[in-house]
Amino acid sequence: MADRILETFLDAGLLELGGNDAWFEHISAAADKLAVHIGAHPEQLAAFVYSAVDPRERLGDPSRAMAQETLKSVWRTYSSVTMGSLDLVFRGIILDAVIQNAKRDDQIRLGVTLLLSSALPHMSLGEEAEVWQKTVSELLSAVEAEAEARWSVPSAIALAPMVAVKPPEIKGKLGAIKIDEAALLKGLEKAAGPNNKAGEETGGNPHAPNAGATWSNEFVPLATEAIATAVKRAAGERVYNLASDEIFGAISTMVTAYVSAAINQTAAASHGVELRSRLLWWKEAKISPSARKEYRLIDRKVAPGLMALDYQSMLPALAPASVVAFLRESVRTLSGENETTSLGDFLAAMSEADEIVPFKSSQPDQTANLRPLGALVLEGATRPELISERTVFQGTLKLDPAAFASLLFLEFQALKAIQHVTPVSPPDEAGTAGKVTGAAK
């Protein structure tokens, strides 16, 4: 992608700056400042995108008013110079700011790509066509590559080898062997003679030590018995309990981590298969999961839009281009290819359909910002004049059912992606948030 979209505008002769580099620097600075605001307020992204793409002059458009205020904040005297269409300058500033954010955030890039892909095929771009085609082509290349990788089905799932566990070292200590000294003393006293030191009878050796061999013959077996008994009691069977919590804890942690990783890897690898199976079932059944009703039994002007709503509810925001083609073919099984209806008639029919009620917002957006066509459906604002006033489309634009469904689907997918964008707080010292947000109000 080009370093700056503003340079593409300049190279295409859309910015009439008379070769004045200083003017271009002012405009670029305004785009940089507006990019900070968009990063802090991603919920306004769709309005900025549509304002940039719509070639019609829109007096009072909040997005262009913000671009004008931002340019004025960095170039006080901009209105005193002649540089062609100021409206085109404001739109160039907006687009440059949007693309700056698309380059830094995958979800913004996805949202912008989907919004442009839904709108541009149905708009007359005039001399700007080359710039927009190049921009969308570069965005699509990046998004499509990521989508195909995410939806791909691997031929095999290679799991990482299980990491060996080094069990923790467990140290233990046995207590010292204790001998029953009192019992040993009593036994040896019996072996030593008929009486102990206290003159008490021992009941053991009947001979005194001066009896010679007679005494020793009695002493040896009695002493042996006393000593052996004491040793046997001390060296008997002992129970020692090891604390196994640390060992089993380490093994459990390792196994849990490995199994979780294996499950996640398997789920990711089978994600594409699961999605494709779900879509095939939906196409063949031709039943609305939200209305619990066959699409053939629903108003022909309502069914395509309802199919787009149901379809997007089954999918993540990131999907390859083949998903849009699949939707078109699904819609064509229910309608004639040469059948066309105006946007005004499509939206009017949907606004009155009970099948759309579950998707409608309880708090319609009353701001003057440009928005997706599908937003009018969900807000119930489907009067013909509102289509031209609040979207980049004309209510008289005629589309076949498949084209209408794919337009709505891309818009809903874009809004889904934008909802996952994390706002980036602007630098406090720049003062951007206060000035630009004030302009938005």
Query: What tens digit of pLDDT does each residue of 186-215 get?
Result: 878 787 788 887 888 878 878 888 877 788
Under 8 Å between Cβ of 371 and 391? yes
pLDDT at 28 over 50: yes
The confidence score (pLDDT) of residue 313 equals 94
286-315 residue pLDDT tens: 999 999 999 999 999 999 999 999 999 999
* Residue range of the domain that includes 227: 181-234
Q: Give the number of domains in the chain.
A: 3
Are residues 383 and 295 part of one domain? yes
- Say how far apart CA 435 and CA 48 lie, in whole Å: 17
- Tell me whether residue 269 is in a domain: no
Are residues 297 and 394 part of one domain? yes
pLDDT classification of 91: cutoffs 50, 70, 90: very high
Are residues 361 and 306 part of one domain? yes
pLDDT at 173 over 90: no
Are residues 291 and 386 part of one domain? yes
Are residues 308 and 410 part of one domain? yes
pLDDT at 434 over 50: no
DSSP assignment letter at 363: S
Under 8 Å between Cβ of 290 and 390? no
- Count Cβ atoms below 10 Å from residue 233 Cβ, excluding itself: 14
Are residues 351 and 305 part of one domain? yes
Higher pLDDT, 415 or 181: 415
Are residues 120 and 40 part of one domain? yes
pLDDT classification of 238: cutoffs 50, 70, 90: low
pTM, two decimal places: 0.72
Q: Cα-flanking dihedrals φ and ψ of residue 353, to 5°? A: -85, 130
